[in-house]
Amino acid sequence: MAGPIEIPNFELVREIGRGGMASVWLARQLQPKRDVAIKIVAPGGGNDESFMQSLKQEGDTVAQFNHSNIVTVYACGVIQQHYFLAMEILSGGDLTDRIKAGLSPEEALDITRQMAAALAHAHKRHVLHRDIKPENILFDEEGRAVLVDFGIAKEADKDSEFTRMGCVVGTPHYMSPERAQGHPVDGRSDLYAVGVVLYEMLTGKKLYEKEDTFAISYAHVYEPIPPLPPELSEYQPLLNKLLAKDPDDRFQTADELLEALEQPGRVPTAATRPVSPDDPNATRAMPAGGQSTRAMQGAATQMMDEPAGDSTAAGKARLKKYLLPGGVAVAALLALVLWQWLGTTGIQQKPAALLTPQEMVRMNDLLAAARTQSKLGNVGMAVNNYEKVLTQFDCHNTEALSALQTLDPGKYNKIVKNCAPVGN
């Protein structure tokens, strides 16, 4: 069967899976001889060469990993505007299948330990996964858990439930609160996703089962952590620590998680961890209702981001349903709204320049969050994220400019006026 491209030293045998932009092929490597899986990503909209190069750079990074719980990459590159990645074949199925079959708590903790080890290896090399979910945890013939798809082709839209080689894009079910809000993310965001997967392994259920994407994202930001069944209550402190809304209340590194998994009974909860009153960087206890101060500030910001004049029945129903969980005082929220407004009215203009890899990740996360909010009809939140892209990273970003011109011409004109021409 003819493949979309010819790859030197590899012979494509047959297609074994397909996503929106990616296909996966069973292939034979000629030298050295072995069977491999090859993911091929077709050019995206506009044939953006920089997009392909970013994929190759990420592939090169993962290829340098040497860890038993991270997929082994044999080769990667760009041929005829197609990105390819050759990797080991993992024939033991994925974690989704095992969750459906049922896992013991000991098995769930062992898989969690293996994922923590994989993330410790990746994070020390300054690589985030950003899409941890059961579909991206595969198994070899011996039952070893292997983490695949470190954000490669993460812009692909899935059109099937194919998961054997990590083609399915992420879903909000495993998204950390900070990423759901378009905030900067670090390794603690990956650890939150590990906590979501652990909950699913223990209970067989999603952490938050909601009717739509917005409700799921909202639950991750504001709703309390569901309690485990009584027979699993000994694992609640571990989950509380992994799933804390504020990243400062979670494990700070994957190594910390590994250490806790060796002594699970000694994991402190975020709400009861002792704090020195003299430590300005210490994490404070959670306020009544289970929300951190950061989460309350997020609620105030969301109120500011609601489209002006949203007084329809649907808008009122959404506010009644989603706003003020846990009985947060109206006066406190109004004060936070004022604080957020005073702190965000000034434009932080940054001239267009070469961005660092960390800044590129942050900007792309903001763009992805803006696209999602725009699709959900949350115009205010979409505008806010596009504005951050243009004022904090690149005021010439074509996607953000085009969207903002449509959604908020006033802000668009202001940003364009203050944006220095390219080359200045």
DSSP secondary structure of 157-202: PP-S---TTS-SPP-GGG--HHHHTT----HHHHHHHHHHHHHHHH
Distance separating alpha carbons of residues 157 and 223, to the nearest angstrom = 28
Instruction: Find the Cα–Cα–Cα–Cα dihedral 62, 67, 70, 74, rounded to 10°.
Output: 50
Q: What domains does the chain contain, in order, with CATH numbers?
A: 10-87 (3.30.200.20), 95-266 (1.10.510.10), 303-418 (no CATH)
Cis omega before residue 32 (within 30°)? yes
Q: Identify the pLDDT of residue 212.
A: 84
Tell me the C-alpha to C-alpha distance, in Å, between residue 183 and each of 189, 217, 354, 361.
Answer: 11, 13, 21, 11
Closest CA to 12 of 53, 52, 40: 40
DSSP state of 285: P
- Judge whether 132 and 115 are in contact, CB under 8 Å: yes
Low pLDDT (below 70) residues in the chain: 1-2, 19-20, 43-51, 53-54, 58, 151-171, 264-354, 357-358, 361, 372, 375-377, 422-424
Q: What is the CA radius of gyration of the chain?
A: 23
Closest CA to 136 of 62, 52, 237, 30: 62
Q: Identify the pLDDT of residue 81.
A: 82
CA torsion sign for 27, 29, 33, 34 is: negative
State residue 62 phi and psi, 5-degree precision. -65, -35
CA torsion sign for 312, 317, 322, 328 is: positive
Three-state DSSP at 153 gives coil
Burial class (CB in 10 A: 0-12, 13-18, 19+), 55: buried
Q: For residue 330, how many other CB atoms are within 10 A of its CB? A: 9
Distance separating alpha carbons of residues 183 and 168, to the nearest angstrom = 23
DSSP state of 205: S
- Judge whether 174 and 132 are in contact, CB under 8 Å: yes
Q: Which two tokens stand for residue 370?
A: 């803006």
Distance separating alpha carbons of residues 120 and 126, to the nearest angstrom = 10
- H-helix or E-strand spanning residue 21: none
Q: Identify the pLDDT of residue 32.
A: 93
- Judge whether 134 and 99 are in contact, CB under 8 Å: yes
Length of the chain, in residues: 424
Distance separating alpha carbons of residues 74 and 308, to the nearest angstrom = 53
State residue 407 phi and psi, 5-degree precision. -80, -35
Distance separating alpha carbons of residues 390 and 312, to the nearest angstrom = 31
Q: Identify the pLDDT of residue 366.
A: 84
Q: Identify the pLDDT of residue 48.
A: 61
Tell me the C-alpha to C-alpha distance, in Å, between residue 248 and each of 123, 193, 243, 276.
Answer: 17, 15, 11, 15
Closest CA to 247 of 280, 295, 198, 301: 295
Q: Which two tokens stand for residue 351?
A: 């001239």
Write out the catalytic residue numbers. Answer: 131
Burial class (CB in 10 A: 0-12, 13-18, 19+), 290: middle
Q: Identify the pLDDT of residue 3.
A: 77
- Judge whether 82 and 43 are in contact, CB under 8 Å: yes
Distance separating alpha carbons of residues 76 and 18, to the nearest angstrom = 18
